[in-house]
Every structure is written in structure tokens, then in C-alpha cells.
Chains A and B, each alone.
Chain A
Amino acid sequence: MRAFEYLSPKTLEAASAAVRTAPEGARIIAGGQDLLGELKERIATPGRVVSLKAVPGLRGIREESGSLRIGALATVQEVAESPLVREKAPALAEAATSVGTPQIRALGTVGGNLCQRPRCWYYRLADFPCLKKGGGTCFAVEGDSRYHAILGGGPCHIVHPSDLAVALVALDASVEVVGAKGRRTIPIADLYALPAVDASRETTLAPDEIVAEVSVPAGARSAFRKFREKLSLDFAVVAAAVALGPKGPRVALGGVAPVPWRSREAEAALGAKPVTAESAAAAATAALAPAKPLKNNRYKVPLACAVLRRTILAAAGVADPGPPAPPATPAPTKKAGEDF
């Protein structure tokens, strides 16, 4: 890891200024669960690291005029365990519970989780000068793309790693950020942008902008489901969050796109009518209709379809009768085992 200067200012404004004025680049550190890995691999080589730990008032979870307000430094574990979140935004509590391991949940923060960098193996290895690191190639296209994007990809094909973001997009949350121009509040979906806009980053934040708080409308019926290959220490292969609020259904998918993916197709398919087994299946199919898998991740399409269908039913409290017809399956590809 490259040596760096470590600062721990007492206000967000000072922290933002410390980032802005750093001569050789700076990064914010919260729980460090993600940043330390990047520093050790030398994916990030800032001359300055600015901690948020000394800034007061960033930790709590409270309810205020119909919204849950969650400080950027609240830990993932605090979100998972909060009775308030469990009752008023269950999808978020479920998403938090599914994160990493107990150790990671204990240290990882909400702000850090939303701003964490992708887990794409080409991005995480210094030997691959990929688009996201300022290089000219997305190695996933010709390389191993089994965990990469099936929606919204190109020119970079990462999937966004945050589970909390998926739940928050479905819950129609907003984020308060502090930067050079003061405070602004943006819908969570606007926090993220596709690589087509700028492949080097995932968020729309200016480098000196800091997430201060997340605000979540309370009370919508919601659910979050995550498919992973292991039950602990594994990012989502596919995740889904669904909220059935007063403004209609909101559907988000994780693990499938470079941003937490809001599916307006699925929302339209569900419409304003009560959810049924048929409408859930139709919505899931609609959500995946625009999918464009890469070489190795075709399987994610039926997987995402299944996970989304189940999440919709769970949010609506409708019993799962199983998939309607035979579930969608990937077109058979000839495998070595069929040679005989």
C-alpha cells in the first residue's frame, strides 16, 4: 500500500475540503472494509485518506415525519438489527442481513456500502488495466464474465455490489450529500450512473462529495431476496427488492447491472392492481426481457427472473404456487459431457 496522510476532521464540510485540497488525491474512509482492500492491491493510491469517524451525528437511525433517517456511519449490522428498519422498511433490513459476514457487517457502514467499488475481478487486480482503472479494455467481454452484467452493461460490464442500494432504490430512498456547494438531496437512483456516462466511476458524486444521510419513506410493504452461491461471505449473483408503496410498485434488481437496476418494465407489468401469481411472473419476465447476457452469464437471466418473481410475491404476501409454465431455462449449450 502506498503511504498516505491520514486526516480525521470534525465536520463534513472540513472533510470535503480536505479531499478537495489534497495535492495527490484523497479518499474518504468510513469502516474501511472496502477501501483497505483497494489500497492494499494498489488499485487506489491516494496521497491522503480522510476519515469520517470524528464527525459527530452520523451514526443514528431515527424516524422523522414519515421517513427513516439513517446516518452514513450507521453500520450495516445496526441497520440489520434496528427494530425500526425491520418494521418500516423490511427490505432494507433483509438486505443488510445478507451482507458479507458478521465481521463485515459490524464495521461496514451505510455510506461506505453505497459508495463501495465493484468486485469485478478484472477491476480488483492491478495487472488488468481495465476501463474502470483508466485503461482501454473491459476484460470481461473476452474474458470470464460469469458474474458480470446482463442489463445496462457497456462499455464496462461490472455489476454494482451493494445490496443496500437495491433495497433503497425499491424503497424510493433519497440521499443527502455534502460538498463544495453545500448540501443537496438526491433520489438514490440518481446517485448512480451507467458506465456509458463515465466508466471510471459508479456514482454521480463529485470526488469531494460525501454521503451524510439516507432517508427512507417508512411503511411500504417490501421484500428483498438474494441469490448467492454460498450463504455467507458472498456477494449477490442476483438480488431483488420490491416495495409496494402508495405511489405504486417499485422494483429493483441487484447483481445484474452496473447500477442498482430499477425495472420500470416490471413496475408497469404489475400496475396498480393487487399482485397475483400471474402478474408476478409476468413482471419478472418483463424485467428480464431487455437482458443482453455476455459469454458466460446467460444463466443469470432465468435466475434473476426466478428471484424477482419470488420477491414480488414475498412483498405482496402472496403464497408462491411455483413458476407458471416450465421456468425459463438457458438455451442448451453443448458441454463436453454430451460428446458421447
Chain B
Amino acid sequence: MKRVRRSQVEIEGKLRERTEVVEEDPSPPWDDRARLRVAGRPHPRLDGRAKASGAAIYTQDVGLPGMLHARILRSPHACARVLSVDASAALALDGVRAVLTQENAAAIPWYGGTTRLLERTVRYAGDEVAVVAAEDEETAEDALHLIRVRYARRRPVLDPGTAPRGGKPSVYTRGNARKAVSGAPVVVAGSYRTPAALHQAFETHGSVARWEGEHLTVWDSTQHIFGVRKELAAALGLPLHRVRVISTFMGGGFGAKNECGKYTVFAALLARRTGRPVRCLLTRAEESLAAGCRHATVQTLRLGARRDGRLLGIEHRSLCDVGAYGTDGPMPVGGPARTLYRCAAVRTEEVPVRTNTGPHTAFRAPGYVEGTFALERAMDRVAEACGLDPLEVRLRNYSPGDPRGFRYTRKGLRECYRIGAARIGWRRRARLGRRGTSLRGLGLASQVWPAGGAPPSHAVVKVNPDATAEVLIGTQDIGTGTRTVLAQIAAEELSLRARDVTVLLGDTGAGPYSLLSAGSLTTASAGPAVRAAARDARQQLEELATGLARGKGGRPGPREVCREIGDAMVIGRGARGPNPEGLKACSFGAHFAEVEVDAETGEVRIVRYVAVHEVGRVVNPLTASSQVEGGVLMGIGFALLERRIEDPATGRGIAVDLLDYKLPTALDLPPIEVLFVPGADPRATTIGAKGLGEPPIIAAPAAIANAVAHAVGADLPELPLTPDRVLEAIARGRRAP
């Protein structure tokens, strides 16, 4: 039965009020006493072989008969008015089938209505100006060079410090933070900067669109098939049932693929115009210019504390460069300051500013990665000012509940600290020092992230006559192992092996609605839905067993029931139940890094890395570990290497390939030790699990920066920690008393 209620959900670190349709889930939660055979145990990815062998079909692999290739012409100017677009020479080129420009493309509103699909004003170098569809990619590319565009250039705004507001600031207060900080015996103040960073998913953004009469099918590399369906249908003025979105295999998104992209609409429009399927994929350079970024921040932070290290007040203000459009407001950079520590007086303010640079999007723990870096750097400075160990300061400010006044379903951060400190040998910290030109440092950082999942998510489980099963669910596996984890959950309920279950996901035409795969939502949202559906199927099988029970033969087992009922198959249905009222479900973690800094070159080498997380039940320790390793890798990149770079004069992106945009390689990684706090969180979800998508990146840059600061004896106010900055910090450290 469905009912309606008002509730608060926290998605991607943003607290929102919403009306929620609630469908109770009667499944008794799997707590620590639940005896599970499949869920909670390591299981190799069910699709691992298909992926490793190239059999898995990603959007990039979709090739349809007669398919055309689209390429996008982008503005080279960061701010300009398009005076005219002359595509006649491009259209005359052999093999070119259509060109979309502002003159002939529908005026579809984009970026929350602030612009249109193709507009006369271009607001960043990379903004879309025209699109060509041709028989092959090379011809489409050639055609781009034949389009004549006249621009009236304007001076771009590039400096966030002087940029205009890009929306309303988001302010949070409890107590009087200014007074509390100003009156505190110990005050630590600082300004911290983080760069715009790129997602660089290995599969670039892209879609293939095909019309069959009035029906449109789109293959899309997306984190939200139903979201793309909704936005695409709205853009094209189609009813939902005529749009189908497929994303069977997906090569990473990290938040940049939460929404419908312009390329999807281009593909659909060009396919309609030409009567041919159209593929529109971004190149690596376009991916670097126009596919979103983690927005740059300039954070100012003041912490007031007692001499014993206890926090009295936190003031945090962040300037967030949301870029040319960036419609999702500023990201919750103040989230960690609001929720990580017990502190009665807190004020956070996130101020969006608008520059003529590529628009930002969500990016794995948006805001929290940046905010944790600043807060945890400052916490180490509080420790130093009070003559305390950094871990001790964190324990003295430990908040058992959400300091905004909620209780948690469970908080295992204290255990994370304990396990991680023991593993890395935290007690050695005071003894680490200099050997020749090598400076050693140990650092830690803490992490909180709302990760309890949410409704709505629906699932259907079909049980076959041979006692195998299929799960139908409209979620997507964005590379995290969702397929395997959901199969494990269904198999657990149905007393099957995981490989007896096929999970059909990533197709709006096949599975019922499930949430977007972002914000650490998927396992905690889709997982309980699948469990409920499997449980429903099992209960039906049990009832049938009673009906089929023969006097002497006794009651048949599930296998026999399946065989006996044959094609009159059992179909289970389930929905994700509501979140517990008045409780917050968060995932927690603590990361520990040991670094070696070369005092002469500024080189930072991470020699040991320990990541400890509390996420309730770990449904699959193998996929969970790889999730943590991937998150730490990404955090290392953000800490040491990565940043989007624009030419300061023109605003054009200049680090637009994987040589200049520096992602860490295998050789740059330390061994990453991954540990989980044991035990389920049955109050969070019926499977006892919480989300793990974002947690592993959150603490990494902060832990590394703290380790480097410890090694060099100076603060590190800006990421990434490139040699120039580290050398400069070493010089400051040497000058310090």
C-alpha cells in the first residue's frame, strides 16, 4: 500500500524537504544475527568476463545499420555573441547529411532555462554553436572546419574573486559562531583553495539515437536512465512511453552523467531530421571542456577552540566558481563543517559566483571533498595550537549524533579511527622526521557522508521453471558492481547462488523506476527493493508449496515448486521502504596517509595508505574494496596532480588531454589498505547496508595534505600539492620558529 508523507532527505549532501510516497517494506532487517550465505561475502563480478573480454556493449560500442556520426562545433571564445553561422560549405561536403544551428534547431530551454540548446550568446570556450551529422566521424570533423561563424567577442570574467554572484548564497547557522570564535582562547584562521577538477570517466559522454516511427530509443552513457528519459521527452515534447533509454554497460560518470546532455538531444534531433540513427560522442578534449567539473573553491575558515582542543565555534565561507551556467547552485562545501564535529556555534555560507568557464556538475562527494580538506587541515592546526595529537583533538570533538540535532542509525567513526591508527602505526607520528633530504609525515582525516539511500526504487523478480531468477530494475550499473550486488541480494532471499540470478538493468523499457546512481544511493536504495521483490517471490513459492503438499511426499522444496508450476511463473514485486523517521543514516570513514617529501624537489610520495570505512553491512567485500581503491586513487589525483587549467588571458582550456590533465597512473599509487568496520546497520536499510560511492574520495586529499603539512612543518593552503607549492611550504616551514 502506498501513502504520502512529508520528509527530509539528504542527497549529495544537500538537505531537502519533499513529499514522499511511502510504500512500507515488511522485510525484517538483516541485522548482525542474520545468517547470510551470499550477501556479505566476496563475489567476483558477474559481468567481469564480459567486460574484460570486450563482449560487454557500452554506448561507445553501439553501431546500428545506417548510423550517422555527429560532431559539435564549439566556441573558441569564452564570451561572445554569435553574429552569424554559415554552414553552406559544410552542407556541400560529400557525406554531410545535416547541420544544426541556432537558425534551424528548436529553441529548447537549457541549464534551467538560462539559455537554449543553441544560443546566440556563448558563455565559455567550449559552448555549443553547431552540430554536424555525416556518414563518418572524419567527414563530420572536416565539416566543422568549413562552418563559418562570426563572433563579436566580449571580455570574459575569469577570476572568481571578482566574478558576479551566480545565484543565492546558501547559509546555515546554529548558535552565534562569530561571537564564539572571536571570544575563543585559541583561534585558527585560514584560507584554502581547491581547483576545478575534471571527472575524466574513461567512457566519454555520448548517445546513440534511433527513431522507429514515433518511438525514440536512446543508448546513453548515463547515471540515470529515467532522468534522461524525462528530460529528453520534455525537450522533444514527447510522451514518456515513446522514449526508451538504455545504458547496459557504462564506463564511469562520477556525477557528470546525472542529467540529460545536449549531445543526447542533438543525436535525437539529427536522427529525426535525417531518418537515420545518429551517434554523438564527445572527444576527450570536449570531455575536458564541456562535460562538467568539480567547481573551484576559495574557502575562508575560522575555528575557535578551548585550550583543551574543544571546539567553540566554526565559521566557514566558500566562494564556489560554478562556471558559465552551473544550475545546481553551489555544492555543500560547508557540509563537513556543519556535521563532522560537536560544536554549538556554526555558520557556513556557500556563495556561488559565475565565470566564463565550463559549467560545473556534481562530482563524487561534491563540496565534501573540498570542505573536508579545509576543515581537517584547520583541525590539525587546532591540535598544534593546543599541543595535542591530531587524533586526540578529533576524539575530543567527537559527535555521537548529527550535531544539527538528529540521531544516527549508527556511527562507526570512532572504530574507524581506532582500526586505522593501529594499522598505520599512528603512535610513530611524533618520532617521524628528517633523513637527509627526505621528510616523513603522517596525516589523517575523517569523513561523513549521508548514505542511507531513499525511495522510490522498485524491483520485479521473475522465477523461472528451472529455479533460476531474473531481477528487473530500472537502476544502472555505472561500473560499481551493482549487477553483482543485486544478484547476491536476490540470491540470498531465494536460496540461490548469485550466478543463478540475472539482473536486467539499465533499460527504462524493461525495469521499473529506480533512483539515479549518484550520491552513494544505489545499493542502499535498489538493494532493499530487490530484496523485497525476492522476498515476495519466495513467500509466493512457499504458499504454493503448501498448496502442492501431498500427503506422503510432504511439502515440496522451492526447486520442485518451480518445476511443477512451470511457465505459470512466480513474479515477485518489491519497493524500497521509507527511511526511518527522525534518524539519519550516514557512512563514515577515516583515512591515514604516510608520505615522504623530498625537501629539495618538493616531490611527494605516498608510502602507505590506510582507508577505514563504516558503511554498515558490506554486501560484497570485493566490489567494495575496489570502490575504495578507486576513490582513494581519485583523491590522490585531487591532492597531488589534477586541476583544470585555463589560459588566463582567453579562458580557453589548455590542459584538455590526458597528458596535460594529470591523472595518477598505477606507478603513482601506494598500496592501499582497505578496511571496514564490521557489523550491519539494520536501522538504515533492510539489508543493513549504507552507501559507499563517495566516502572513499572524501578524506583522501585532506589526509594527504595533513601528512605533507606534518612532514614540511607548514600549512598547505592550496590543492593540488604540486612541487612549486610544496617547495614554497618547505621554505615557510624553515622560516617558522
* Interfacial residues, chain A to chain B (CB-CB below 8 A): 1, 42, 119, 121-122, 125, 127-128, 139, 142-144, 146, 227, 229-235, 237, 298-299, 302-303, 306-307, 320-323, 326-327, 329-330, 332-333, 335-340
Contact = CB atoms under 8 A, between A and B. Distances in A.
B718 A299 contact: no
A270 B647 CA distance: 41
Given A143-B649, A320-B436, A332-B728, A299 B602 contact: yes
A227 B652 contact: no
A337 B718 contact: yes
Given A1-B138, A142-B649, A335 B718 contact: yes
B173 interface: no
A327 to B, nearest CB: 5
A254 B659 CA distance: 18
Contact of B191 (A142, A298, A339): A339
A139 B190 CA distance: 34
Given A42-B145, A121-B660, A232-B666, 12 more contacts: A125-B656, A128-B647, A143-B648, A144-B647, A230-B664, A230-B667, A231-B667, A232-B667, A235-B659, A303-B602, A307-B601, A322-B437
The 7 closest A-B pairs by CB, nearest first: A337-B717, A299-B724, A231-B667, A329-B731, A306-B600, A121-B654, A340-B189
Nearest to B646: A144
Contacts, number: 123
Interface in B538-586: none
B662 interface: yes
Interface string B711-735: 0000111100011110110111010
Contacts of A337: 190-193, 715-718
Given A229-B723, A322-B436, A329 B190 contact: no
Given A122-B654, A237-B723, A329-B731, A229 B717 contact: no
Nearest to A295: B648
Contacts of B104: none
A125 B145 contact: no
7 contacts: A227-B601, A227-B723, A229-B722, A231-B667, A323-B437, A339-B191, A340-B190
Contact of B668 (A122, A230, A303): A230
Interface string B393-437: 000000000000000000000000000000000000000000011
Contacts of A127: 76, 125, 652
B93 interface: no
A303 B662 CA distance: 19
B386 interface: no
A327 B665 contact: no
A44 to B, nearest CB: 15
Contacts of A330: 724, 727-728, 731
B391 interface: no
A333 B652 contact: no
B361 to A, nearest CB: 24
Nearest to A326: B734
B658 interface: yes
Contact of A336 (B191, B600, B734): B191
B385 interface: no
Contacts of A339: 191
Nearest to B298: A336
A145 B715 CA distance: 25
B730 A329 contact: yes
Given A230-B641, A336-B717, A338-B717, A121 B655 contact: yes
Nearest to A137: B649
B139 to A, nearest CB: 11
Contact of A143 (B189, B192, B647): B647
A45 to B, nearest CB: 10
B246 interface: no
**Residue of A146, A302, A307, A333 with most chain B CB atoms under a 10 A cut-off:** A302
A233 B665 contact: yes
B388 interface: no
Interface in B629-682: 640-641, 645, 647-649, 652, 654-656, 658-660, 662, 664-668
Contacts of A139: 647, 649
Contacts of B598: 306
B256 interface: no
B603 interface: yes
A174 to B, nearest CB: 31
Nearest to A307: B601
Interface of B: 76, 125, 138, 141, 145, 189-193, 298, 300, 436-437, 598-603, 640-641, 645, 647-649, 652, 654-656, 658-660, 662, 664-668, 715-718, 722-725, 727-728, 730-732, 734
Given A121-B654, A303-B723, A335 B728 contact: yes
A322 B647 CA distance: 37
A28 to B, nearest CB: 22
Nearest to B193: A336
Contacts of A42: 145
Nearest to A237: B723
A332 B647 contact: no
A231 B603 CA distance: 11
B189 to A, nearest CB: 4
B538 to A, nearest CB: 50
Given A227-B601, A227-B603, A330-B728, A144 B715 contact: no
B665 A232 contact: yes
B600 A323 contact: yes
A322 B600 CA distance: 9
A229 B641 contact: yes
Nearest to B438: A322
B274 to A, nearest CB: 24
Contacts of B652: 125, 127-128
Contacts of A321: 436
A303 B717 contact: no
Nearest to A235: B659
Contact of B665 (A125, A231, A235): A231
Contacts of B436: 320-322
B637 to A, nearest CB: 10
Contacts of A121: 645, 654-655, 660
Most buried by A among B125, B193, B600, B652: B600
A146 B641 contact: no
Nearest to B377: A337
B647 A233 contact: no
Which of A322, A323, A329, A339 has the most C-beta atoms of chain B within 10 angstroms of its own C-beta?
A: A329
A232 to B, nearest CB: 4
B314 to A, nearest CB: 15
A122 B650 CA distance: 12
Contacts of A303: 601-602, 723, 727
A302 B666 contact: no
Contacts of B732: 332
Contacts of A332: 728, 731-732
B727 A299 contact: yes
A324 B715 CA distance: 25
Nearest to B647: A143
A55 B479 CA distance: 46
Contacts of A128: 647, 652
A312 to B, nearest CB: 14
Contacts of A323: 437, 600
A144 B645 contact: yes
Contacts of B730: 329
Contacts of A122: 647, 654
Nearest to A120: B654
A324 to B, nearest CB: 11
Contacts of B138: 1
Nearest to B141: A1
Nearest to A126: B76
Contacts of A125: 652, 654, 656
Contacts of A231: 665, 667-668
Nearest to A299: B724
A337 B732 CA distance: 12
A125 B731 CA distance: 36
B659 to A, nearest CB: 7
